[in-house]
Structure 1
Amino acid sequence: MDTADWRRRVFALYGAVRAAGDPAEGHALWRAGRDELLATHPASPVEEREGFRGVPMGAYRPELRFEVAVDTDVEPVRWEVPSATDGVIPFSRVGVLHLPAIGDLDVWWLESYGGGVFVPVKDALAGTHTYGGGRYLLDTVKGADLGGDIREGRLVVDLNFAYNPSCAYSPLWTCPLAPATNTVKAELPVGELTSDL
């Protein structure tokens, strides 16, 4: 029930972000909500919560927010991620996002029950200031969805909302990490970091 409540709260948090009048305002809501969930919720992956003071976060940069079309003219690729608790997690590539001055990111569809859009990213700061395995931008099955006209094939991709997967906080979690096709050469000192810049 704790995990179900966590997901319900994450869905509500992203709903508030989408409803915010300004992306920077939405980012402030998201940051406060993420820190509260990580610090207090029973399903938080943070093991040492007593000294937890929030995740280091880069300042909001509006130029790193995009509403882009998903380029669906891609060869189908299957990506299977073994996990310790859920068996093999299957994904299929359904498109690619072309982000100006950043690079390309594959868009994956979770083939498990319920399905969902998944977009991880690993940047040039991975292993120093961002999580070494990469971070998540979108994971709609878990509520991490910034909007966009999905019927028109467009997604809001705001790199300021890049967040650490649960395995960044605890070895008890198995997480799909960003594949090579979701790795960019750009430095992205925004979103959740592993250390202050």
Structure 2
Amino acid sequence: MAKKELNKEGQNTGTQGTDQINETDKKAEQSPQKGSQLYVFFLSGLKDVLYAENKLVEALLEMESAASSEELKDAFEDHHLLTKKHVSRLNKIFGLLGEKAEAKECKAIEGILEEAREIIKNTPEGSATRDVGLIIAAQKVEHYEIATYGGLAQLAITLGFDKIADLLERTLEEEEETDRDLTFIAENHINPEAEQED
């Protein structure tokens, strides 16, 4: 299910093209509030989520390897590819702002990913129970990202960064779709299988 959505995204060259920086974009993202405390807070949030996305690129490979369900493995693989695209999109946003793309440690994502590692350590290899735990950990990541991208998109609108707001909202929609896909897999496949395990 997730793979189908990702393939649509990958084949849509028009959408990918809009992620490229052009001279009009560079001139468009000028805000009279760029030196404000709100702007500094906005920039800090972008650095925070850049760190989270970079960490997730690595973690999703581990989660894919640890999962036993082929459907879940496919979902993690798709999310890995989509997360790499989100990193590129964030780099574009920093470019539009004329800022260096610097990541700032995100303790929230570190905590969630540590929990995922604990799930892998404490559940039987090849079990549906492990897959249940991995889905829950992945959805905690999604809910963090949904809250973060939603908040940053609203701040971008407030600051007058309309192009950046569009990019953040696009990522937000993709994160919401991933969350729905994981819920579908859990409810229709993994959870019922885990219930039958001893």
* TM-score, scaled relative to structure 1: 0.25
* TM-score, scaled relative to structure 2: 0.25
Tell me which protein shows more helix as a share of its residues. 2
- When Rg is computed on C-alpha atoms for both structures, the one with the higher figure is 2
Higher relative contact order (CA 8 A, sep 6+): 2
Tell me which protein shows more strand as a share of its residues. 1
